[in-house]
């Protein structure tokens, strides 16, 4: 073989290697771009966490993915109280100690690729980890490490510390931006839907939830009940003990009401001293029982004024139910307004009868039914017996 032919073959091999590398880089770039777009499209922190802990692992065929977030004020944790990590709590962790994150990286803070020491591997993936090599990605915003994403493989040759980190560095930056944006957006959204004094939902949130639950009840053909709860003589508490004491009463009452509800129920502060509750799937009798449980729990609660004096409060509660027979997909908005108006009417009836009781008001009273005369809590009737009924105290 002459020298020219040898050189030609060598050039062809070199060209083939370069083309293979270019195609591989193209595929890598395409994968990273696709991942980036999906990350940027996440609308909630829970969706973003699933993307990081599940999708990244599948995309890159990893053996372990873990995320550690710096969360000193529990801002992230408070946004995802019901989030369940895909592989238990060991793949998602939060820290209030900035040093825990800072100790994972050298100066300057850059991704760390390769086979790490046993100590660093244990800190990144937990004790007993079988990870042979890993990529540790610092999630940095404004020169502060807000988290650390750990991509692990049992293959010791998977991550090489000598390879370029352009792609993975860019990915870390995108993830950091997405985490910060999701936390900020959800915090603002939550602030707009939460009553800051009582920490339950506000009236705007209630109206939104009412429309959603009414639509869901119509689809599933399940009843939807509503409670309106008013604190009796609340103005006297503010006038007699001061507004700070009144605020404590509102906060304590909201928590007590919430403690009597199921996870699927919804509570909101509807007005000054008035709360509204939605009870999905509850018939009238069950709604009345929940209301009575709330009334008794509040009656048994003791509050303390600034001067040290203890006092109690009572509630007037109105209840109403939209049964599956009432549901009409063409008339859901009117039904929602009628449900709320009926529960509100029950509150007025409760107050007219002496307060500290539960009164039921159907959304469609029969024309021949007469107005119920005021009665004491001990003279309760079943919800279906009359237009307005009260439970015994």
CATH class assigned to 203-390: alpha beta
Residue corresponding to tokens 């009582």: 198
- CA proximity to 110, closest of 142, 80, 140: 140
Per-residue pLDDT tens digits of the chain, which is 393 residues long: 677 777 777 777 887 777 776 766 666 667 677 888 889 888 899 999 999 999 989 888 999 999 999 999 998 998 888 888 887 668 999 999 999 999 999 888 999 999 989 999 999 998 888 999 999 999 999 999 999 999 999 999 888 887 767 778 888 999 999 999 999 998 888 888 999 999 999 999 999 999 999 999 999 999 999 999 999 999 999 999 999 999 999 999 999 999 999 999 999 999 999 999 999 999 999 999 999 999 999 999 999 998 899 999 999 999 999 988 777 777 888 999 999 999 999 999 999 999 999 999 998 765 544 343 333 343 333 333 333 343 333
Task: Tell me if residue 273 is catalytic.
Answer: yes
Q: Tokens representing 22?
A: 């270019």
Using a 10 angstrom Cβ sphere, with 0-12 exposed, 13-18 middle and 19 or more buried, the burial of residue 146 is buried
What distance, in Å, lies between the first and last C-alpha atoms of the chain?
107
**SS3 of residue 345 by DSSP:** helix
pLDDT of residue 15: 76
DSSP 8-state symbol, 371: P
pLDDT of residue 122: 92
What whole-number distance in Å separates Cα of residue 204 and Cα of residue 120? 48
Sheet hosting strand 112-114, strand order edge to edge? 92-95, 64-70, 144-153, 133-141, 112-114
Homologous superfamily (CATH) for 39-192: GAF domain (3.30.450.40)
Q: 202, 269 in Cβ contact below 8 A? A: yes
Cβ-proximal residues to 319 (8 Å cutoff; 6+ apart), any chain:
225, 226, 227, 228, 284, 287, 288, 291, 343, 346, 358, 359, 360, 361, 383
**Of these residues, 186, 209, 213, 273, which one is catalytic?**
273
- pTM (two decimals): 0.65
The domains of the chain are located at 39-192, 203-390
Note if the bond before 108 is cis, omega within 30 degrees. Answer: yes
Q: 179, 139 in Cβ contact below 8 A? A: yes
């Amino acid at each position: 073989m002459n020298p020219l032919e040898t050189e030609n073959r060598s050039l062809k091999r070199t060209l083939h290697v370069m083309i293979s590398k270019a195609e591989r880089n193209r595929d890598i770039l395409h994968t990273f771009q696709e991942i980036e777009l999906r990350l940027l499209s996440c609308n909630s922190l829970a969706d973003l966490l699933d993307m990081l802990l599940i999708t990244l692992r599948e995309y890159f065929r990893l053996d372990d993915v873990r995320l550690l977030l710096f969360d000193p004020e529990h801002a992230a944790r408070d946004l995802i109280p019901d989030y369940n990590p895909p592989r238990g709590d060991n793949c998602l962790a939060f820290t209030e100690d900035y040093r825990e994150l800072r100790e994972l990286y050298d100066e300057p803070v850059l991704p760390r690729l390769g086979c790490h020491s046993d100590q660093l591997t244990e800190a990144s993936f937990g004790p007993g980890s079988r990870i042979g090599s890993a990529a540790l990605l610092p999630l940095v915003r404004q020169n502060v490490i807000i988290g650390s994403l750990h991509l692990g493989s049992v293959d010791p040759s998977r991550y090489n510390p000598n390879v370029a980190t352009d792609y993975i560095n860019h990915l870390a930056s995108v993830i950091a931006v997405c985490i910060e944006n999701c936390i900020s957006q959800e915090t603002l959204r939550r602030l707009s839907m939460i009553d800051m004094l009582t920490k339950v939902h506000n009236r705007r949130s209630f109206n939104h939830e009412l429309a959603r639950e009414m639509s869901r009840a119509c689809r599933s053909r399940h009843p939807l009940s509503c409670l309106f709860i008013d604190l009796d003589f609340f103005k006297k508490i503010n006038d007699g003990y001061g507004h700070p004491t009144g605020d404590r009463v509102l906060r304590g009452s909201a928590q007590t009401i919430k403690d009597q509800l199921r996870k699927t129920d919804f509570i909101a502060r509807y007005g000054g001293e008035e709360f509204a509750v939605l009870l999905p799937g509850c018939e009238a009798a069950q709604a009345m029982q929940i209301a009575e449980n709330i009334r008794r729990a509040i009656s048994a609660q003791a509050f303390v004024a600034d001067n040290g004096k203890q006092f109690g409060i009572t509630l007037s509660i109105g209840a109403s139910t939209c049964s599956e027979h009432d549901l009409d997909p063409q008339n859901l908005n009117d039904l929602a307004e009628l449900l709320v108006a009926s529960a509100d009417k029950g509150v007025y009836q409760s107050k007219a009868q002496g307060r500290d009781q539960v009164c039921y008001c159907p959304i469609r009273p029969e024309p021949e039914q007469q107005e119920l005369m005021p009665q004491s809590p001990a003279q309760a009737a079943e919800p279906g017996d009359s237009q307005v009924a009260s439970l015994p105290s």
